[in-house]
């Protein structure tokens, strides 16, 4: 398969440049499960979009420290692309900001998390079943967010739920799969991120995050889930 990775990460810090970029992270994530798949990266946050998204078997939208509620020109252009892909029944996966911008493109609100930061290794449990789901009842995934989807988009179903995050992931037919969390992040990266953001996040959230990182995320299992989603969508022709 050929997958377009749509990078939305606006972080230009020294910390960000010390690690692989999100295009690499998401390609590495897919390659855990399907090492022969081809991934092409587009920095949509810099207004670099695919010339022809239909040339791809699907797309993944990455995370970002930006807020979907900022409604910047590149975000609005991305939302148009999302709606076009959904109308064409083209498979689309989104994580964190990607999850939120897909929801926003479908008319759902993006709200502040009433519990504050979701930070560290966080748990999600399955909601409504999907045809591509594995046997896992839930996953442990890294997260770092203060905003979340406030209501499931019309026609979509909640497929992941988490503490203080009732819409931790949703599906729209066989075309869309999302998750609020960061399956692309490695354990080393998350440990470093917790320390880098300690002052911004605050002592309480930082200590919770540190305490959560005694084990690693279920990255390989979730990579398989994403791969099965794209394969199922391809087999069904992306039916909505």
Q: What is the CATH number of the domain that holds 192?
A: 3.40.50.880
Query: Does any domain span residue 240?
Result: no
Residue 26 has pLDDT above 50, yes or no: yes
Interval 35-80: pLDDT, tens = 999 999 999 999 999 999 999 999 999 999 999 999 999 999 999 9
How many domains, in total, are found in the chain? 1
d(C-alpha 240, C-alpha 233), whole Å: 9
- Mean pLDDT for 81-95 is 98
pTM as predicted: 0.96
The alpha carbon of 170 is separated from its chain's Cα centroid by a whole number of angstroms, namely 11
Q: d(Cα 196, Cα 95) in Å, to the nearest integer?
A: 21
CB atoms within 10 A of CB 55: 10
| pLDDT above 60: residue 123 | yes
Note whether residue 23 is domain-resident. Answer: yes
Our CA angle for 55, 155, 149, nearest 5°, is 85
In angstroms, rounded to a whole number, what is the distance separating the alpha carbons of residues 180 and 142? 10
Whole-angstrom Cα distance, residue 91 to residue 215? 32
Answer yes or no: is 66 within a domain: yes
DSSP string, 30-71: HHHH-TT-EEEEE-GGGT---S-GGGSSEEEE---SS-GGG-
pLDDT at 58: 98
| Containing structural domain, residue 8 | 2-235
Q: Is 132 helix (H, G, I), strand (E, B) or coil?
A: coil
Checking if the pLDDT of 238 tops 70, the result is no
User: What tens digit of pLDDT does each residue of 100-116 get?
Assistant: 999 999 999 999 999 89
- Nearest C-alpha neighbor of 97 from the set 52, 150, 61, 45: 61
The whole-number pLDDT of residue 167 equals 98
Q: Are 223 and 33 in contact (CB under 8 A)?
A: yes
Residue 141 has pLDDT above 60, yes or no: yes
Residue 95 lies in a domain: yes
Per-residue pLDDT for 184 more than 70? yes
Whether residue 104 is contained in a domain is answered as yes
């Amino acid at each position: 398969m050929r997958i377009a990775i749509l990078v939305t990460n606006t972080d230009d810090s020294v910390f960000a440049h010390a690690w692989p970029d999100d295009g690499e992270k998401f390609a590495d994530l897919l390659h855990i499960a399907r090492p022969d798949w081809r991934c092409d990266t587009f920095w949509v946050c810099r207004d670099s979009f695919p010339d022809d998204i239909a040339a791809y078997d699907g797309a993944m939208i990455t995370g970002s420290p930006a807020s979907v509620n900022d409604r910047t020109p590149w975000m609005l252009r991305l939302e148009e692309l999302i709606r076009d892909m959904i109308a064409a029944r083209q498979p689309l996966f989104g994580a964190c900001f990607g999850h939120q911008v897909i929801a926003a493109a479908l008319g759902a609100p993006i709200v502040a998390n009433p519990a504050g930061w979701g930070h560290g290794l966080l748990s999600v449990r399955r909601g409504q079943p999907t045809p591509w789901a594995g046997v896992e009842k839930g996953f442990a995934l890294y997260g770092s967010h203060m905003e979340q989807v406030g209501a499931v988009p019309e026609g979509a179903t909640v497929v992941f739920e988490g503490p203080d995050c009732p819409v931790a992931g949703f599906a729209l037919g066989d075309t869309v799969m999302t998750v609020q969390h960061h399956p692309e992040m490695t354990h080393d990266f998350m440990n470093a991120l917790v320390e880098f953001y300690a002052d911004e996040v605050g002592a309480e959230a930082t200590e919770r995050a540190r305490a959560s990182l005694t084990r690693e995320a279920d990255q390989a299992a979730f990579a398989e889930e994403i791969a099965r989603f794209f394969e199922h969508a391809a087999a069904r022709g992306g039916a909505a």
